[in-house]
Structure 1
Amino acid sequence: MIVGIATLLTFQLIGEILAYEIGGLVPGPVLGMALIAIALLTMAKWQRVQSAQSQTIDTSKAILANLGILFVPAGVGIVKHIDVLVAHGLALLALIVVSTVITLAVTVWSFVLAKRIFGGASDE
């Protein structure tokens, strides 16, 4: 598991460095994830790398299986600032509802526009 974590963190560091060098156009973790995917796919044939590859995949599965624990800090933050939530709860609820409706409307509009531009199955 140590090898897997070290591999994941190394690629995240490389991604962060690349993101810094290109001006932050793409987040570092995204670049790191793309690089590790490419590395794992291209190096799968090498016998020496297969052990590290399987350890990295096993570590990734373990992290994903326990992903819920990463949300605990957000829950603690909400509880810590419950007074703000109580004071502005209705405004926050309205904001969430309105932004959700706007997001859905823009998504539908984008889909309809893309369907008109690129064509699609006719409704007839």
Structure 2
Amino acid sequence: MVSNFLNGMTLLLVYQLVGEVSTRVLHLPVPGPVLGMMLLFITLLLRKRVEPVVEPAASALLSHLSLLFVPAGVGVMVHAGRMGEAWLPIIAALVVGTLITLAVTALVMQAMQRLLGKGAARES
């Protein structure tokens, strides 16, 4: 059980490392961990299953997900003065970002419903 967890964490960290190295070598404007996560997602799609060693590590990370927000909260508290000075751009970015996210989510949902609806119609 412990070795599966360690193997899973190692695999996740390797994907993060590959993403980090790729973004630095190719000068991509995407954070390395995000690229690593995209590569992991593509791998999972191609294999059409989750590797057994990834599941214990992913479950452990998800069960302690709230702890991963502590550094962000500390950063907010440390830079509270700076955030007070730039409150308007921060609020504007939050509102615009939220609206864009809602719009993109709605468009993706509509596209998936059309795609799945056409697929279901063909199967009938």
TM tier, smaller: 0.5 to 0.7
SS of aligned partner of 2:28: coil
- How far is the alpha carbon of 1:25 from its aligned partner? 2.9
Distance 1:15 1:77, change over 3 A: closer
Distance 1:79 1:64, change over 3 A: same
Summarize the alignment of residues 87-98 of structure 1 with structure 2, pairs less than 5 Å apart.
89=84, 93-98=87-92
- How far is the alpha carbon of 1:100 from its aligned partner? 4.5
Distance 1:15 1:80, change over 3 A: closer
Provide the residue aligned with 2:18 in structure 1.
14
State the TM-score, normalizing by the size of structure 1: 0.56
Provide the residue aligned with 2:8 in structure 1.
4
Summarize the alignment of residues 29-44 of structure 1 with structure 2, pairs less than 5 Å apart.
29-43=33-47
Letter in 2 for 1:65: S
Letter in 2 for 1:33: M
SS of aligned partner of 2:30: coil
- How far is the alpha carbon of 1:74 from its aligned partner? 2.7
- How far is the alpha carbon of 1:9 from its aligned partner? 0.4
State the TM-score, normalizing by the size of structure 2: 0.56
Deviations 1:16-38 (A, max 9, x none): 11111211233221221122223
User: Bigger CA drift: 31-40 or 64-73?
Assistant: 31-40
Deviations 1:64-110 (A, max 9, x none): 2211101112333444556x37xx74x55555445455x27x74xx8
SS of aligned partner of 1:26: coil
Provide the residue aligned with 2:120 in structure 1.
none
Q: For residues 27 and 100 of structure 1, what CA distance do their matches in structure 2 show?
A: 20
Question: What are the ranges of 5 or more consecutive residues in structure 2 without an aligned counterpart?
Answer: 108-124
1:64 corresponds to which of 53, 62, 65? 62
What is the Cα-based RMSD across aligned positions, in Å? 3.3
Aligned pairs, number = 97
2:74 corresponds to which of 73, 76, 87? 76
Query: Which of these two proteins has the greater Rg computed from alpha carbons?
Result: 1
- How far is the alpha carbon of 1:62 from its aligned partner? 2.0
